């Protein structure tokens, strides 16, 4: 009960932060928003829905590339001579950002997102905005429409929570990390992953060897 309340409080704090973002949109601040988002990412069946998943993956890739950068993320020509390695990285980020803009422009609403300041080891600073168009159909088994999912993802970039959307280390399903160190969608996946680790297998071998020795010693004493 206490753990459930703690998670609910964490969700409410996140929703409060989302409500303070400057991205206009039509999402209501429902407690179920984050769960609805994860359901969409894992269960969307349409081509448009799957494109949104690809956009999220592109955002996360850009975030990963810009995280170690300090300062403005722009490929200044002066860097080509003074720091060619950084210049090439910034050019690659710029190419990915251009691809991202083309992908977003496919929709009937126009969302925009870009990294403006690198994370210097932390979360990068994003600028995100959009104009929505609600002339779309919702998949019957999902609560969020494509536009709502994109709006929510872009808002998460603005508050520095984008990387909390990640895939489970074990089953590869999407999850929203309530805690920064969370890498599994469930306790079941966490335990399954651990039982496949070299540490667990070594422990299991030691346990079985010790158990065998105990049983063998016990049977000898009976004789």
Residues 8 and 42 in one domain: yes
- The stretch 36-57 carries a mean pLDDT of 95
- Same structural domain for residues 200 and 158? no
What is the domain count for the chain?
2
Asked whether residue 175 falls in the same domain as residue 193, the answer is no
pLDDT at residue number 84:
92
Which pLDDT value is given to residue 112?
A: 75
Are 73 and 179 found together in one domain? Answer: yes
First to last CA, the chain: 53
Please check whether residues 73 and 141 belong to one and the same domain: yes
Is there a single domain that holds both residue 6 and residue 113? Answer: yes
Pull the structure tokens for residue 77.
């020509």
pLDDT in the model for residue 101: 92
pLDDT in tens, 88-97: 999 999 999 9
- 3-class secondary structure, 186: coil
Read off the pTM.
0.73
- Residues 58 and 155 both lie in one domain: yes
pLDDT of residue 109: 66
The pLDDT > 90 percentage for the chain reads 45
**Is 116 in contact with 73 (CB distance < 8 Å)?**
yes
Residue 163 pLDDT grade (very low, low, confident, very high; cuts 50, 70, 90): very high
DSSP class per residue in 114-133: EEEE--TTSPPEEEEEEE--
Residues 55-84: what's their mean pLDDT? Answer: 92
Q: Which of 61-65, 126-130, 164-168 has the lowest mean pLDDT?
A: 126-130
How far apart are alpha carbons 65 and 127 in whole angstroms? 16
Same domain, 210 and 115: no
Report the pLDDT value the prediction gives residue 133, as an integer from 0 to 100.
Answer: 65
Of residues 40 and 14, more confidence is placed in: 40
Question: How many degrees, rounded to 5, is the angle at CA 21 between CA 18 and CA 26?
Answer: 75
Which range of residues forms the domain containing residue 195? 188-222
pLDDT of residue 71: 87
Q: Identify whether residues 28 and 87 lie together within a single domain.
A: yes
Asked if 107 and 172 sit in the same domain, the reply is yes
Predicted confidence at residue 221, as pLDDT, reads 55
For position 82, what pLDDT does the model report? 93
Q: Please report the pLDDT score of residue 142 as a whole number.
A: 95
Q: Model confidence at 12, in pLDDT bands (50, 70, 90)?
A: confident
Write down the mean pLDDT value for the chain: 84
Nearest to 49 by CA among 122, 145, 135, 136: 145
Q: Do 217 and 174 fall into the same domain?
A: no
Stronger pLDDT, 207 or 166, i.e. the higher one? 166
């Amino acid at each position: 009960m206490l753990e459930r309340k703690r998670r609910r409080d964490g969700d409410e704090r996140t929703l409060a932060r989302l409500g303070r973002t400057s991205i206009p949109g039509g999402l209501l601040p429902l407690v179920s928003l984050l769960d609805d988002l994860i359901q969409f990412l894992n269960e969307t069946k349409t081509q448009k829905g799957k494109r949104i998943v690809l956009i999220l993956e592109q955002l996360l890739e850009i975030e990963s590339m810009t995280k170690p950068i300090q300062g403005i993320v722009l490929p200044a020509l002066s860097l080509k001579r003074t720091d060619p390695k950084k210049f090439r990285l910034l050019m690659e980020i710029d190419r990915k950002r251009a691809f991202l803009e083309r992908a977003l422009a496919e929709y009937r609403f126009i969302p925009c997102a870009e990294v403006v300041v690198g994370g210097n080891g932390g979360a990068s600073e994003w600028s995100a905005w959009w104009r929505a168009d609600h002339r779309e159909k919702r998949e019957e088994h999902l609560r969020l429409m494509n536009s709502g999912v994109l709006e929510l993802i872009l808002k998460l970039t603005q508050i520095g929570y984008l990387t909390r959307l990640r895939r489970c280390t074990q089953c590869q399903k999407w999850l929203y990390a309530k805690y920064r160190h969370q890498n599994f969608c469930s306790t079941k996946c966490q335990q399954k992953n651990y039982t496949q680790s070299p540490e667990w297998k070594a422990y299991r071998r030691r346990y079985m060897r010790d158990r065998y020795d105990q049983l063998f010693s016990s049977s000898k004493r009976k004789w």
